[in-house]
Structure 1
């Protein structure tokens, strides 16, 4: 599943890690906010993206960071965000697709997609593509927040979007598997251009992620005992920070999936190149990208 990207490693060996521009979505709370603070403390320029204007500004303000808002349940918001980033950030060294969630009820967005599928997969897929020909030039990296829940994903070439027997857990697991397949696709398609990609599992983190849902996760997120056995947002952000601060080809390999700063096992379907290709093509169609996205 992992690939070594020739050229990308050499470029960063010459330049060194240095100061990087890191765009983090879902950074108004949880591990995104924790990662923004830590990466800023390490000297990187952080761009904070969140859904809530107030919460996003509250994270960005103390860091002196630029910030943008977007609701990933609206693809027009994603397109606007991409345009804003292209205009304001000439180069993005690291794009962190961290925004996401698990939802209690099956709802369809104004774009006509099941909400979990759009917020967790289609929106970051679209955002990444809209930045590929601009700020995400050779030598950049895309990091996708996945989950151990990818192991229960049941995506197949025949059923890439499966609303039968819908449940919050099934929908979430499918999208987290999609995150890893998207990572694999990025590494295979754009590796020769110097773009690297990785997916990671942050662990069970004491945030508001599943608070208020009726899923079994509610015990962990809504109870004092559950939160005591979970990781802090700072601990959950450690692998994200390690990937963003590191160098592909030296510290980690492009196309890989990581947990606790080490390669990790996940769903065997994540190794299926034909499934990754089918997902890529179907996703490009669903978000209205042209033939060039089928690269």
Structure 2
């Protein structure tokens, strides 16, 4: 639950939640609306996204993260639709059983879980910086980042045999590094960034895997896995904690602050390299460090 010290009044605030058509994102969108926020419900499925938006009294925005042009379209739509953006929850993610190359030429897991939210965040950054009360970027990560490995000479892992779990872990390692570097680059602007592991949650993230669907929908899976409501708690906590600077650049295992796994996840030099490579791959110009 959100602690008593958290600021739960989100009236007049605009919250953008991606991956909000089901699972953690849908639950978070519902909770944000209960706290008074104007919620942009972002999802891929027209039916599910519209249904969630209608149910909570938010506005539906559709996007396909497998196409970066669609991310650019979404960003333009959000910038035009809202006078301010106070919270960006990068929650959308996917895991793919086989190697798929996107129309942008990128491995799909890496694009959906890292490059697309990286691009969206950068395109929304001017409005986030302009938020009158400061803004928060909150990224859904995973403790499996400890099993990821980034090779900057082969960022998509095309030289290695594809393994879905390894690709997913590497994309979540990228989430940790992105969060750290975003916090560094936005230092002093009023924007803060944090990442969290939601726990093992029963969601449809593995919808492309028959095995994962079977596990998620089984009685054993339901007994062992956390609910979307429980998975959304860390996101709500980070969005409402009274002093966001205490979480800036941080990683949370559920509600507990924790250091990322030893190795690449703690490498600031790699975080900077990943940012510049991601800027190139998404068509952004390499951005100078705001912190210097």
Do both share a fold (TM > 0.5)? yes
- Map of 2:180 onto structure 1: 184
**CA offsets, 1:149-196, max 9 Å, x none?**
111011144443322122101110000010010000110000221110
Shift of residue 213, structure 1, vs aligned partner: 1.3
Whole-angstrom CA distance in 1 between matches of 2:267 and 2:153: 14
Do residues 208 (structure 1) and 204 (structure 2) align? Answer: yes
- Match for residue 33 of structure 2 among 40, 46, 57: 40
Do residues 88 (structure 1) and 81 (structure 2) align? Answer: yes
Shift of residue 82, structure 1, vs aligned partner: 0.2
- Map of 2:112 onto structure 1: 119
Whole-angstrom CA distance in 1 between matches of 2:265 and 2:79: 31
Whole-angstrom CA distance in 1 between matches of 2:19 and 2:275: 23
> What are the equivalent positions in structure 2 for 1:97-136 lying under 5 Å apart?
97-136=90-129
Unaligned segments of structure 2, at least 5 residues: 1-5
Whole-angstrom CA distance in 1 between matches of 2:259 and 2:182: 19
Whole-angstrom CA distance in 1 between matches of 2:24 and 2:8: 26
Whole-angstrom CA distance in 2 between matches of 1:94 and 1:150: 24
- Map of 1:255 onto structure 2: 249
Whole-angstrom CA distance in 2 between matches of 1:141 and 1:267: 23
Whole-angstrom CA distance in 1 between matches of 2:10 and 2:231: 24
- Match for residue 218 of structure 2 among 223, 228, 231: 223
- Structure 1 residues 136 and 27: alpha-carbon distance in aligned structure 2, compared to 1, 3 A threshold: farther
- Map of 1:141 onto structure 2: 136
- Structure 1 residues 291 and 281: alpha-carbon distance in aligned structure 2, compared to 1, 3 A threshold: closer
Unaligned segments of structure 1, at least 5 residues: 1-12
- Match for residue 239 of structure 1 among 220, 224, 234: 234
- Map of 1:199 onto structure 2: 195
Question: TM-score normalised to the size of structure 2?
Answer: 0.90
Whole-angstrom CA distance in 1 between matches of 2:8 and 2:55: 27
SS of 1:62's partner is helix
Considering Cα pairs closer than 8 Å and 6+ residues apart, tell me whether 1 or 2 has the greater RCO.
Answer: 1
* Pairs aligned (count): 280
Whole-angstrom CA distance in 2 between matches of 1:97 and 1:150: 16
